[in-house]
């Protein structure tokens, strides 16, 4: 299993990796980092932005190091910071150029390499690798990688093996496909070499813009490392999340699902915004999991039916709009927004005055519940019913054979499952596993209550908790309640969480990189313009990428791509196929819209 226990919270035991004066892993706090988005060769601007990021609360700062000139610039940035008495651990982010990695390893505290780019250029384009060719590639990889390891040892430089879902090597793709298994094997090839060379200052990451792929890949990696007696720490985060509250929720869904099980030693939240904006979001995510060690005891559970490495939606019997083949719904207390429910919330179903009321619409977008559903102070099970259905509020203390037997005899009953445990994710997951083991197929609404006065904090915490369960395939609806923020519409938060967990899409999905020194256009303004014109296309995934390094790779499953091609020029993609090259930036958004229309994917 990927974690020591599904019912007792504990951080995974990892090696300590020294990164300058701030060690990572072991018993150290979860470290926070970000990345500058100015040109690495602009020494003054880069140093200033490094300080701004650290002043916001980051532990480490990363910079793109795409070539030798940038690798040399990293040394100058470090000297500039030292002149200003700023002792900031710097990380060089290297993609294609191995020479840049070797130079950077002599100048900074940590280097990140991408295994997908650490390849033998003579075999590029080889779509089929037989066993001998596959093994020959591994030998080539080893011979080249050991050279970098030796430099890192000499200069006490840490290394991150940074696997990206969209940039796996042809050799890995040939054998494993574009899968979490392929991502894990890509990392393990390098980690085995590190182990053989007795080099332990290594961190590893499994980045993807797809939260499911990202979570399953990390879990598989930990299981694989455990089996081979490796304890390398994890750098976690969802890549290319975009901007605004949807991006924050997406980051929290992915990172939260891992941190809930004690996985993760450093975190980066990738926002298409100013880098310092990432730090408060990362802090909320990390702090949400700080107080879990001494949680209330959760009974051990038989987890034979639990598969944490692939998506399997729990099978339930339909009751009204819940369960069965219905879309996963949202349930929210909207009574504080407008009392005229029937007129002002068209398209919603209603649970009103403690009774379930079915609207004629076959698939309402959400469910409203009157406050009487939440104000009951009855301990244990509360049954709120009408002639046809029962809504049963309960928690793990109510679970026993009598309840399970009654539920099986009354399949129309809908559970509203709650937890006040500080380790609520584990307790609620245990409840679902108990239902599975008892073969109970009633639909379940996951109910979480918060008392948060800060809306951003509410969004992030709810995403951490709901997201982990949704990624595991649990829940037929989610119900968010937070009396402290009366001006917040919880339905919007819930729909964003469902989309981030990839269980229900209510708007276009945007895959957008945070930008760095490689981005030669204003990606923040461009993303906003594209979202304004296309967000209603809920059946589409649209990638907005700063450059070709992350472009065609990280938009692996996007329907359309808008990718930086040079100063003031954009390339447009349909899936991974380049359709228009070097479009002038001032007209590129219109060209993207035209491309969507040409392919019949536009709706008004």
Its pTM stands at: 0.90
At residue 426, the 3 state secondary structure works out as helix
pLDDT tens digits along 337-361 = 443 333 333 444 545 444 433 333 4
d(CA 550, CA 151): 27
Residue found by looking up tokens 């129309």 in the block:
412
Query: Alpha carbon of 413 to those of 25, 252, 356, 406, 444: distances in Å?
Result: 46, 32, 11, 9, 9
CB–CB of 544/512 below 8 Å? yes
Using the predicted structure, report yes or no on whether residue 281 has a pLDDT greater than 80.
Answer: yes
d(CA 293, CA 141): 41
Q: Which range (73-77, 191-195, 551-555) has the least confidence?
A: 551-555
**Sheet of strand 110-113: strand arrangement:** 202-207, 158-164, 110-113, 90-93, 60-64, 31-35, 266-267, 235-236
Q: Give the other-Cβ count within 10 Å of 229's Cβ.
A: 7
Residue found by looking up tokens 């002002």 in the block:
344
Using the predicted structure, report yes or no on whether residue 381 has a pLDDT greater than 90.
Answer: no
Tokens of 122: 């003579």
CB–CB of 273/246 below 8 Å? no
Give me the mean pLDDT over the 221-245 stretch. 94
Residue found by looking up tokens 């005891």 in the block:
297
Dihedral Cα 515, 517, 521, 523, nearest 10 deg: 10
Tokens of 187: 């990392």
Using the predicted structure, report yes or no on whether residue 336 has a pLDDT greater than 60.
Answer: no
How remote is the C-alpha of 235 from its chain's centroid?
A: 12
d(CA 199, CA 243): 37
d(CA 6, CA 426): 6
pLDDT at 488: 66
Burial of 46 (0-12, 13-18, 19+ CB in 10 A): buried
Using the predicted structure, report yes or no on whether residue 386 has a pLDDT greater than 60.
Answer: no
Secondary structure (DSSP) of 44-71: HHHHHHHHHHHHTT-SEEEEE--SHHHH
pLDDT at 310: 94
pLDDT at 43: 97
Q: Which of 432, 417, 492, 501 is nearest to 466 (CA)?
A: 501
Residue with the bigger pLDDT between 482 and 462: it is 462
Using the predicted structure, report yes or no on whether residue 319 has a pLDDT greater than 80.
Answer: yes
Alpha helices in 231-312 (DSSP H): 244-259, 278-288
Using the predicted structure, report yes or no on whether residue 22 has a pLDDT greater than 70.
Answer: yes
Residue with the bigger pLDDT between 202 and 174: it is 202
Give me the mean pLDDT over the 21-41 stretch. 96
Using the predicted structure, report yes or no on whether residue 161 has a pLDDT greater than 80.
Answer: yes
Could you give the maximum distance between any two Cα atoms of the chain, in Å? 76
215 pLDDT band (50/70/90 cuts)? Answer: very high
pLDDT at 356: 39
Give me the mean pLDDT over the 170-192 stretch. 92
pLDDT at 358: 39
Give me the mean pLDDT over the 520-528 stretch. 82
Residue with the bigger pLDDT between 602 and 368: it is 602
CB–CB of 115/192 below 8 Å? no
- Angle, CA of 460, 461 and 464, to the nearest 5°: 85
Residue with the bigger pLDDT between 119 and 226: it is 226
Percent above pLDDT 90 for the chain = 56
187 pLDDT band (50/70/90 cuts)? Answer: very high
Q: Give the other-Cβ count within 10 Å of 42's Cβ.
A: 15
pLDDT tens digits along 397-437 = 888 888 898 889 888 888 889 999 999 999 999 999 999 99
pLDDT at 94: 92
- Strands in 408-554 per DSSP E: 414-417, 444-449, 477-481, 509-512, 541-545
Q: What is the mean pLDDT of the chain?
A: 86
122 pLDDT band (50/70/90 cuts)? Answer: low
d(CA 558, CA 561): 7
Give me the mean pLDDT over the 19-41 stretch. 96
CB–CB of 588/533 below 8 Å? no
* End-to-end CA gap in the chain: 47
Residue with the bigger pLDDT between 438 and 98: it is 438
Using the predicted structure, report yes or no on whether residue 64 has a pLDDT greater than 50.
Answer: yes
pLDDT at 338: 44
CB–CB of 557/210 below 8 Å? yes
Using the predicted structure, report yes or no on whether residue 590 has a pLDDT greater than 80.
Answer: yes
d(CA 277, CA 266): 17
d(CA 569, CA 583): 5
CB–CB of 588/572 below 8 Å? yes
Give me the mean pLDDT over the 369-389 stretch. 46
pLDDT at 131: 87
Residue with the bigger pLDDT between 166 and 311: it is 311
């Amino acid at each position: 299993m990927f974690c020591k226990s599904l019912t007792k919270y504990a951080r995974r035991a990892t090696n300590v990796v020294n990164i300058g004066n701030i060690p990572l892993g072991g018993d150290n706090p979860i470290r926070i980092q970000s990345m500058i988005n100015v040109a690495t060769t602009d020494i003054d601007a880069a140093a200033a932005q490094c300080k701004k990021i650290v002043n916001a609360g980051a532990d480490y700062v990363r910079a793109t190091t795409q070539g030798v000139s940038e690798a040399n610039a990293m040394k100058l940035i470090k000297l500039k910071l030292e002149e200003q008495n700023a002792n900031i651990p710097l990380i060089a982010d290297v993609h294609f150029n191995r020479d840049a990695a070797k130079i950077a390893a002599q100048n900074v505290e940590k280097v990140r390499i991408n295994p997908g780019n650490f390849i033998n250029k003579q075999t590029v384009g080889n779509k089929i690798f037989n066993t001998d060719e596959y093994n020959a590639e591994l030998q080539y990889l080893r011979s080249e990688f050991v050279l970098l390891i030796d430099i890192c040892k000499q200069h006490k430089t840490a290394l991150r093996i940074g696997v990206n879902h969209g940039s796996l090597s042809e050799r890995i793709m040939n054998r494993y496909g574009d899968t979490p298994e392929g991502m894990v094997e890509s990392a393990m090839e390098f980690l085995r070499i590190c182990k053989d060379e007795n080099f332990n200052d290594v961190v590893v990451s499994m980045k993807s813009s797809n939260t499911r792929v990202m979570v399953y890949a990390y879990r598989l990696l930990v299981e694989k490392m455990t089996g081979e007696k490796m304890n390398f720490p994890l750098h976690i985060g969802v890549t290319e999340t975009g901007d605004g509250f949807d991006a924050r929720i997406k980051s929290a869904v992915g990172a939260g699902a891992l941190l809930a099980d004690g996985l993760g030693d450093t975190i980066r939240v990738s926002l298409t915004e100013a880098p310092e904006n990432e730090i408060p979001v990362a802090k909320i995510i990390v702090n949400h999991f700080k107080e879990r060690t001494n949680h209330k005891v959760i009974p051990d559970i038989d987890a034979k039916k639990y598969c944490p490495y692939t998506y399997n939606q729990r099978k339930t019997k339909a009751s009204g709009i819940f369960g069965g083949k219905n879309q996963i719904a949202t349930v929210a207390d909207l009574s504080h927004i407008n009392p005229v429910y029937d007129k002002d919330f068209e398209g919603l179903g209603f649970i009103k005055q403690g009774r379930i009321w079915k609207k004629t619409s076959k698939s309402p977008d959400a469910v409203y519940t009157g406050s009487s559903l939440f104000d009951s102070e009855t301990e244990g099970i509360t049954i709120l019913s009408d002639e046809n259905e029962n809504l049963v509020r309960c928690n793990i203390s109510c679970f026993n054979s009598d309840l399970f037997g009654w539920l099986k005899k009354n399949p129309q009953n809908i559970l509203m499952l709650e937890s006040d445990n500080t380790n609520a994710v584990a307790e609620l997951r245990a409840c679902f596993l108990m239902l599975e083991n008892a073969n109970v197929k009633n639909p379940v609404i996951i109910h979480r209550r918060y008392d948060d006065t800060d809306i951003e904090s509410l969004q992030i915490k709810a995403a951490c908790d709901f997201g982990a369960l949704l990624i595991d395939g649990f829940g037929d609806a989610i119900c968010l309640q937070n009396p402290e923020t009366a001006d917040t519409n919880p339905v919007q938060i819930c729909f964003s969480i469902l989309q981030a967990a990839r269980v229900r899409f209510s708007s276009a999905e945007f895959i957008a990189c945070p930008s760095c020194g490689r981005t030669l256009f204003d990606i923040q303004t461009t993303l906003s313009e594209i979202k304004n014109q296309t967000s209603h296309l809920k059946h589409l995934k649209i990638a907005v990428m700063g450059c070709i390094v992350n472009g065609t790779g990280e938009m692996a499953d996007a329907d359309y791509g808008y990718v930086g091609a040079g100063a003031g020029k954009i390339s447009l993609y349909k899936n991974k196929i380049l359709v228009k090259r070097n479009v002038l930036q001032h007209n590129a958004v219109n060209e993207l819209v035209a491309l969507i229309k040409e392919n019949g994917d536009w709706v008004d």
